Structure 1
């Protein structure tokens, strides 16, 4: 099979680019593409049974929806006012452009990529891989370029961030075969690993043909005296993928499998105008890049003047610097790994614009992420007996995605401008089958709960926790911790000693913290202000030291050194440690956390997966644990508290207090709308019944955070 890439080398363009600088042609227009999609959807729906239709959501609901989808947080009061001040006919398009230009866009969509690529911070090269994906989204790296980088990566974990993708599966060829097929092409070929696929066209032999691209790939640990100095992604000399498989060999000679791409490519370039547009775009981009790299020749006058130096002119004082630079340029790890030609070819085959699966799989994923369901569901299960609901629409959007140069931002901007994206939900009292039929036809959108990161950040934003909302020292509280300390005791020879797990040399361990009534604090660890966190931890350890007597400290010393006097053993006792702290929390974005979060964390409780299994999906179904965390959790309660440094404080406390204005502001900040007359009346009653107005407003805000309207996307 011959794989063609539509690009022009910089070397071939250098001479032409020296005199002619070509600008890349304009890509597809998101607004025009969205209108074409609306037309195609209507045509395809007209050919099927008629369904109910939900109208477009109103402006403030659209502001909330698109803010969550683009930036994973609800809008602020200032953003609401700015949006409503825009001309009505232009405000939605302008809002999309503005939100996509923010840093939070990269934060939010790096989470999407993280789920799709199963980015795990704790794996080999995981931290660098997570940072690389974020930067790729921020810089709008073309999707095909990103894919090729991930598939062809070699080198040291961390130093070469893209190695994190393959190392996440321990460079296992068979596992990677299923991953590449399902992630990048939406095809679940893994079933063909052991036998021909029972529900699809894929055979076991085709699975092994694809696996052979990873046959030489290996994970290597570089060790010195049993210490791991680095993890490398490398290529071995011989392929490990053999045919026939071991269970079918039965004395037959086994031979390495020749790598072959089993997915059929579209034939010819004639009807594929989107491919010609991609080629034109890539050629112009290469020409422009080559032109920019051609430097103006140094003139004779400059050389005589001495203001510039020619290519052979050297400053003798810079010889040492040049030598150092030369040493730094040497690839000291070059002998530890080599590039993979097989995986490079695989990357070319996967991203070949004639591979229809590739673009359609990504378009389907992003459509489902924004609209609530895909053209194909599950989004990574393209097969003959699970056809797209709207094949013409999917094909058109996939072609435009290719023609754009695999521009991810173009894809997101286009979908957000469609009528399908702007539609509301059907009433919940309608028959479920009617609602489902409309959602499948994209004439209504299914209800979507915020993702866990968006829910967390929205609570933080509405509760003004991104910055301190109390003055230093205003909220000093005593925190009680419990620790176990060692005590040396004399043994009584007349009494038997009960065996103790771990023996006398077992190190001191902290006791379980005492559960305080009303506490359900599983959001610990979200703050990434490491400097302050370390200070607090040091202070806590000092308090624990101060709580110990001289005898207890001596017992710990004896235990660690092993110098235990005869007839002495260690006993552990629990001591209470009280620490005075300033309860003025500040939270940072959940989207900047190491992912996935620890088990039991807010993000995990609300649906974030451990990104382990290939077909694992976020679970947005409600649970008792979620309810308890929202009702009693530290995050919700801290966000509900009213602090003197937030805007609403002066509206609820002091000579210029305006209770109605305070209520309206809280509603706008939490629900992106004004309260109704009944809601305003109920809120007044809540505030009046509280000991202090700010306490009543905190109760109101807490109630809003716990409402379905807050948690669900309009």
Structure 2
């Protein structure tokens, strides 16, 4: 029998909207559904049954069992009226309209009902609930990115309050550790770098992202500010998003689409997508919203800006020559001074005369090389350009609008993966086909919750961690490529590089958050804010000298000062470096991963553990390897953890008897008490090792898989 899909109109077969599919099984129990002929405004017909209406789309199930979204605007008036009259109720657990007054418990219950109904339908038994020991460890790792301290684990386990889980969640989500940990996630997603290039600093932008997390700025507001920012990062730090890919706005657009729309159109930048419906012309239509934007130094616009103020532009060579007269510059240093000047010229500007054109090698019949393209969106409702100051502002409005069918779903799907180890729709950068969703209707419900909460990321996290689904034991399964996961509980997964690093800090230092926010790049970055109409050779000389001084004093923007071994106390590898007021362990600076240069340099433990180099979106690695095992077994950090003076050994020394000492080691590292067999093995190790026996027990636990994984 010929597939009914062959009868679909061309606009339905070719449009990328065909990927906004609902799982066909959603309609399998709808008694009102019947097969009938549907007609579009051009008279083309398709035989299908109505599944549901959602927003501006009607979902029709064709005879081949597939469900397709049809824009209401393309259906005949009679069919639109019929669809509205026959629209069946939404699937169980998914509300057709967005409730606005749900309590947190009611919202969590809605999510759990969808998950549990799916498990029941498939005959899958949910994983057992977490006990308190498992919960406290998972919650600390999930919210603040580190294991709980001994006292924190003890206090929670001993607490008899029925609401203690909710209270601890609320406490941790508003702590400095949460800011640090969520920043690490954004850093991987947004490819944050302290040093973007030889010319561009990312420090101010990174600080802006961290501040946005700390103040819980709504996600849609944060994204709009990044998309619409102009100027440089010293005057408008959000401009760092576009300056991250200075001079490569098309590449930046590909990243934007992946990160915020869950739509991978990167192939279409050079040619029609081989596996999807995106065409190269569609890519350029979307890029036309940035046709007038410049992210590399646009000297013409900068000169015009000065001319409007009655000032003349002072070029690099003239300024360097003037500085050389004021104070002779070593010929080998002059290129560096010129690069310093060039760096100060990086601004996001708008040139209204610029337009987007098809590339010179464009080869398709729907356009010609060099043809001007007008801005068009990929899906959803196009913004009215007359209502915005520029096209980029219109793009930002469309991107973050509630009626954009991808924005809320994409971030909600991302955060579900962050909490459960697996997204509802994989991969998170390409959610075109919702028919691949692991649980029908769940990702739509998550998107609705994100909008209901007005893109409050902290509140959305609180919702996920309140669910029964999240508070179940992890599944010890390996998901084959292309296979789905049914979420009887979160997936067992390895700690991120940052979680391992920050957990090691927790076992060494009394307060792993002691340095958060202490390193201030403001003075350093102000040096780049030069008014090119008034700056003099003398001022340039002074600014560059200050740059050299700061770099020498604290490593400047791109690192830390070299270790001065004369500052290290005799017999103690762990000490405070007075220059930076931070703990050092041999050469390593012991601060949270979020406070270190982004990303760390090659050879640093964080990179060995899988921290991303920040060249690609979500490029961190969380698989095991021999170098990772060796780094933990033989690294300086694990050696110091088991030495007198570390936080762990201080906790052990607080107890007199061997039993409490052993319990302190287990609670500090694994957040649980030892089993009888483990206790017996620990006592044996202590008898054989004497005073060093407790250090041997700690070292053994640090090198277990249990320490390395989120249970």
Per the TM superposition, whether the score is higher than 0.5 is yes
**45 and 198 in structure 1: CA distance in 2 versus 1, 3 angstrom threshold:** farther
Q: Which residue of 2 aligns with 1:72?
A: 145
Distance, in Å, in 1 between the alignment partners of 2:479 and 2:188 is 30
Distance, in Å, in 2 between the alignment partners of 1:623 and 1:253 is 49
Q: Note if contact 2:294-2:351 (Cα within 8 Å) is conserved in structure 1.
A: yes
Q: Note if contact 1:77-1:669 (Cα within 8 Å) is conserved in structure 2.
A: yes
- Pairing 1:168–2:280 present: no
Find the partner of 1:256 among 372, 379, 402. Answer: 372
Q: Please list the CA deviations of residues 674-695 of structure 1 after superposition, one character each: whole Å capped at 9, or x if unmatched.
A: 11222122212222222x51x2
Find the partner of 1:706 among 697, 700, 703. Answer: 703
Q: Note if contact 1:193-1:208 (Cα within 8 Å) is conserved in structure 2.
A: yes
Distance, in Å, in 1 between the alignment partners of 2:211 and 2:293 is 26
Q: Which residue of 1 aligns with 2:598?
A: 595
Shift of 1:210: 0.7
Q: Note if contact 2:408-2:450 (Cα within 8 Å) is conserved in structure 1.
A: yes
Q: Which residue of 1 aligns with 2:394?
A: 345
Find the partner of 2:693 among 693, 696, 703. Answer: 696
**393 and 602 in structure 1: CA distance in 2 versus 1, 3 angstrom threshold:** same
Q: Please list the CA deviations of residues 553-576 of structure 1 after superposition, one character each: whole Å capped at 9, or x if unmatched.
A: xxxxxxxxxxxxxxxxxxxxxxxx
Find the partner of 1:640 among 639, 642, 649. Answer: 642
Q: Note if contact 2:510-2:647 (Cα within 8 Å) is conserved in structure 1.
A: no
Shift of 1:696: 1.9
Consecutive unaligned residues of structure 2, counting only runs of 5 or more, are 1-98, 300-314, 318-337, 514-553, 576-582, 584-589
Q: Secondary structure at the match of 2:348?
A: strand
Q: Which residue of 2 aligns with 1:188?
A: 264
Shift of 1:125: 3.7
Q: Note if contact 2:505-2:512 (Cα within 8 Å) is conserved in structure 1.
A: no
Distance, in Å, in 2 between the alignment partners of 1:182 and 1:535 is 39
Distance, in Å, in 2 between the alignment partners of 1:385 and 1:403 is 21
**582 and 46 in structure 1: CA distance in 2 versus 1, 3 angstrom threshold:** closer
Consecutive unaligned residues of structure 1, counting only runs of 5 or more, are 1-24, 268-338, 469-526, 541-577
- Pairing 1:455–2:500 present: yes
Q: Note if contact 2:420-2:489 (Cα within 8 Å) is conserved in structure 1.
A: no
Q: Secondary structure at the match of 1:169?
A: coil
Q: Which residue of 2 aligns with 1:112?
A: 185
Q: Note if contact 1:71-1:108 (Cα within 8 Å) is conserved in structure 2.
A: yes
Q: Note if contact 1:266-1:356 (Cα within 8 Å) is conserved in structure 2.
A: no
Q: Secondary structure at the match of 2:256?
A: helix
Shift of 1:41: 1.9
Find the partner of 2:412 among 363, 366, 372. Answer: 363
Find the partner of 1:134 among 210, 225, 250. Answer: 210
Distance, in Å, in 2 between the alignment partners of 1:663 and 1:76 is 15
Alignment of 1:39-118 (within 5 A): 39-47=113-121, 49-118=122-191
Q: Which residue of 1 aligns with 2:83?
A: none
**178 and 258 in structure 1: CA distance in 2 versus 1, 3 angstrom threshold:** same
Q: Note if contact 1:178-1:190 (Cα within 8 Å) is conserved in structure 2.
A: yes
- Pairing 1:441–2:514 present: no
Q: Which residue of 1 aligns with 2:334?
A: none
Q: Which residue of 2 aligns with 1:674?
A: 673
Q: Secondary structure at the match of 2:260?
A: helix
Q: Note if contact 1:453-1:590 (Cα within 8 Å) is conserved in structure 2.
A: yes
Q: Which residue of 1 aligns with 2:53?
A: none
Q: Note if contact 1:72-1:108 (Cα within 8 Å) is conserved in structure 2.
A: yes
Distance, in Å, in 2 between the alignment partners of 1:183 and 1:459 is 31
Q: Note if contact 1:214-1:343 (Cα within 8 Å) is conserved in structure 2.
A: yes
Moved more, 137-146 or 656-665: 656-665
Shift of 1:149: 0.4
**256 and 101 in structure 1: CA distance in 2 versus 1, 3 angstrom threshold:** same
Distance, in Å, in 2 between the alignment partners of 1:85 and 1:700 is 24
Shift of 1:147: 0.6
Shift of 1:207: 0.6
**597 and 28 in structure 1: CA distance in 2 versus 1, 3 angstrom threshold:** farther
Q: Which residue of 2 aligns with 1:684?
A: 683
Distance, in Å, in 2 between the alignment partners of 1:91 and 1:244 is 60
Q: Please list the CA deviations of residues 425-474 of structure 1 after superposition, one character each: whole Å capped at 9, or x if unmatched.
A: 3456xxx679998x711113221111111111111212346589xxxxxx
Q: Which residue of 2 aligns with 1:270?
A: none
Shift of 1:44: 3.5
- Give the length in aligned residue pairs: 512
Shift of 1:579: 10
- Pairing 1:627–2:629 present: yes
Shift of 1:386: 5.9
Distance, in Å, in 1 between the alignment partners of 2:411 and 2:101 is 18
Q: Please list the CA deviations of residues 86-126 of structure 1 after superposition, one character each: whole Å capped at 9, or x if unmatched.
A: 34531211111111121111111011111111111111241
Distance, in Å, in 2 between the alignment partners of 1:195 and 1:70 is 42
Distance, in Å, in 1 between the alignment partners of 2:649 and 2:472 is 33
Moved more, 161-170 or 233-242: 233-242
Q: Which residue of 2 aligns with 1:286?
A: none
Q: Please list the CA deviations of residues 156-210 of structure 1 after superposition, one character each: whole Å capped at 9, or x if unmatched.
A: 1333211111111114232122111111000001111222222222222211111
- Pairing 1:207–2:283 present: yes
Q: Which residue of 1 aligns with 2:254?
A: 178
Find the partner of 1:584 among 549, 574, 590. Answer: 574
Q: Which residue of 1 aligns with 2:57?
A: none
Moved more, 81-90 or 604-613: 81-90
Shift of 1:639: 1.3
Distance, in Å, in 1 between the alignment partners of 2:348 and 2:287 is 17
Using structure 2 for the length normalisation, give the TM-score.
0.67
Distance, in Å, in 2 between the alignment partners of 1:151 and 1:414 is 28
Q: Note if contact 1:150-1:165 (Cα within 8 Å) is conserved in structure 2.
A: yes
Q: Secondary structure at the match of 2:347?
A: strand
Shift of 1:266: 11
Which of these two proteins has the greater Rg computed from alpha carbons? 1
Q: Note if contact 2:651-2:664 (Cα within 8 Å) is conserved in structure 1.
A: no
Q: Note if contact 1:426-1:435 (Cα within 8 Å) is conserved in structure 2.
A: no
**533 and 153 in structure 1: CA distance in 2 versus 1, 3 angstrom threshold:** closer
**539 and 26 in structure 1: CA distance in 2 versus 1, 3 angstrom threshold:** farther
Distance, in Å, in 2 between the alignment partners of 1:357 and 1:141 is 20
Alignment of 1:303-314 (within 5 A): none
**374 and 143 in structure 1: CA distance in 2 versus 1, 3 angstrom threshold:** same
Q: Which residue of 2 aligns with 1:309?
A: none
Distance, in Å, in 1 between the alignment partners of 2:354 and 2:499 is 44
Shift of 1:246: 3.2
Alignment of 1:233-272 (within 5 A): 233-243=348-358, 245-248=360-363, 254-265=370-381
Q: Secondary structure at the match of 2:295?
A: strand
Q: Please list the CA deviations of residues 619-659 of structure 1 after superposition, one character each: whole Å capped at 9, or x if unmatched.
A: 2111111111111111111112132x757548559xx7322
Distance, in Å, in 2 between the alignment partners of 1:187 and 1:404 is 23
Distance, in Å, in 2 between the alignment partners of 1:193 and 1:427 is 40
Kindly report structure 1 stretches of 4+ aligned residues shifted beyond 6 Å: 433-437, 527-530
**421 and 611 in structure 1: CA distance in 2 versus 1, 3 angstrom threshold:** same
Q: Please list the CA deviations of residues 264-297 of structure 1 after superposition, one character each: whole Å capped at 9, or x if unmatched.
A: 2499xxxxxxxxxxxxxxxxxxxxxxxxxxxxxx
Q: Note if contact 1:126-1:158 (Cα within 8 Å) is conserved in structure 2.
A: no
Alignment of 1:459-538 (within 5 A): 459-464=504-509, 466=511, 536-537=563-564
Using structure 1 for the length normalisation, give the TM-score.
0.66
